[in-house]
Structures are given as C-alpha cells and as structure tokens.
C-alpha cells in the first residue's frame, strides 16, 4: 500500500536522482552556455524538491537520523540557492533581497545545531561526530561570510567564483547523499567525507581556471 510517507519518500529520491544527473550536465557543459544554464536550472529546481520533501518526512518520523538528514538538506540546499542567487547580483548596483538574509540566517542556525550535535557525539566517543562537525563548520563559514558580505557589499567577490564554489558545494552534498545510501558497507565517516575530499580540489581548479584565485592559483598561476 502506498502511504503518504512512502509517496513523499519516492518523490524525494527521484528529485535527488534528477539533481545528480543535472549536476553532471552542468559540470561538463560550457560555462554560460545554453545547456549549462538549463542543467543548472533543473539542478536547482530538483534540489528545491529535495529540501521541500525532507520536512514532511521528518514530521512522519522525527528520528535522530532524519533530523540529521534534514540539517544536511538545509546545508546543501543553501549552497544551491545561494549559488543561483549570485547570478542576480552580478552588478555592483544589484541589492540583496530579504530572502537572501532569511536563507543565510537559517543555514547559520541549522549548522550551529549540527556542529554542536556533532561535538556531543565526539565527546561520547562516536567518530561520526566528525562528519557533523565538518558539515556544520563549512555551513557556518559560508553563512557568516554571506551575512558579512550582505552588510558590506564592497567586500563582494567575483560573481563567477562565488557561483562555481556554491554550486560545486551543493553538488558535493548531493553526491554525499548518494554515497551514504548506496555505500553502507564502508566506514560511515569515509562514505560521508570522500566526496568532499575529491570535490574541494575540483573547486580550487575551477577557481584557478576562471578567476586565477585559490590555492592552486598561488602554485600554478594562470599565464
């Protein structure tokens, strides 16, 4: 029998698969081209469904595992949302919307809770707390950085770099979710963190290629 919870779960999974495929499309197509923009819109829309469905799933079963997944969904959803919103603020005269403030404050609150929860796990001897602390710290860093930038628009970085970094961060989280669900035989810490270990150098590569910025640019500057 198809219950409401199961139906929402299937929608959640289907949207996650669409996000995974569309994200690949955005990565491999020419940046700024029609296919890239189309793939990006599909990816952001699918991530919106992923985040939107995680809340009713939490209501159906407020177990600790679903609470954690909800916090991670907020984390990844904010990366996709903020990466898309960067495109609406390309010009120095473009202003920050109220929705940007609300989203940044929400991710800061969620990641404070996530990091604190992870610290409690670590104090109790559970190594999985490392994953929670890492995700919480990244989310806090990004959220506070955005709030500072919103207050001081002069500190705004190159829009292309911000867009690439955020969308890649969101995609890393999408791959992480797939890894956790499908690679249950390996260490939980490994299954949660390997996409970050691989994805971050890719972000540095694109930072160097499109903005001559980041750690790789200092080692191998664009000529």
21-25, 64-68, 106-110, 195-199: which range is least confident on average?
64-68
- The count of C-alpha atoms lying within 13 angstroms of the C-alpha of 38, restricted to the half-sphere facing its C-beta, is 6
Domain boundaries, the chain: 4-210
36 contacts 30 by C-beta, under 8 angstroms = yes
State mean pLDDT over 13-18: 90
What are the tens digits of pLDDT across the range 89-145? 776 656 788 889 999 998 899 889 888 988 998 999 887 788 788 888 888 988 998
Q: What is the mean pLDDT of the chain?
A: 84
176 contacts 189 by C-beta, under 8 angstroms = no
What is the structure's pLDDT at 63?
A: 82
10-19, 174-183, 192-201: which range is least confident on average?
174-183
What are the tens digits of pLDDT across the range 68-100? 778 778 888 899 998 888 887 776 656 788 889
pLDDT at 1 over 60: no
Nearest to 48 by CA among 20, 89, 10, 76: 76
Q: Enter the pTM of the model.
A: 0.79
What are the tens digits of pLDDT across the range 150-170? 888 776 777 788 888 888 888
Place of tokens 């292309």: 160
What is the structure's pLDDT at 89?
A: 74
CA distance 181 to 43: 20
Q: Which residue has the higher pLDDT, 24 or 213?
A: 24
Q: What is the 3-state secondary structure (H, E, C) of 144-169?
A: HHHHHHHHCHHHCCCHHHHHHHHHHH
pLDDT at 211 over 60: yes
**64-85 vs 159-182: helix axis angle to the nearest 10?**
150
pLDDT at 189 over 70: yes
């Amino acid at each position: 029998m198809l219950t409401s919870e199961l139906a929402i779960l299937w929608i959640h999974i289907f949207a996650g698969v669409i996000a995974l495929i569309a994200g690949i499309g955005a990565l491999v197509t020419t940046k700024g081209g029609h296919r890239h923009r189309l793939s990006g819109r599909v990816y952001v829309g699918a991530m919106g469904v992923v985040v939107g469905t995680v809340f009713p799933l939490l209501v159906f079963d407020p177990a600790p595992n679903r609470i954690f997944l909800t916090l991670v969904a907020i984390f990844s959803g904010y990366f996709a949302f903020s990466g898309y919103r960067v495109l609406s603020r390309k010009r120095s005269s473009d202003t920050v919307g109220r929705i940007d403030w609300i989203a940044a404050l929400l991710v800061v609150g969620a990641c404070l809770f996530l990091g604190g929860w992870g610290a409690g796990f670590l104090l109790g001897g559970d190594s999985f707390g490392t994953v929670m602390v890492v995700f919480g710290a990244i989310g806090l860093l990004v959220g506070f950085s955005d709030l500072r930038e919103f207050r001081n628009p002069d500190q705004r970085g190159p829009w292309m770099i911000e867009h690439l970094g955020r969308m890649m961060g969101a995609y890393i989280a999408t791959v992480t979710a797939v890894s956790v669900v499908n690679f249950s035989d390996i260490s939980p810490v490994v299954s949660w963190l390997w996409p970050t270990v691989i994805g971050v150098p890719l972000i540095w590569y694109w930072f160097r290629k499109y903005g001559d910025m980041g750690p790789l640019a200092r080692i191998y500057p664009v000529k």
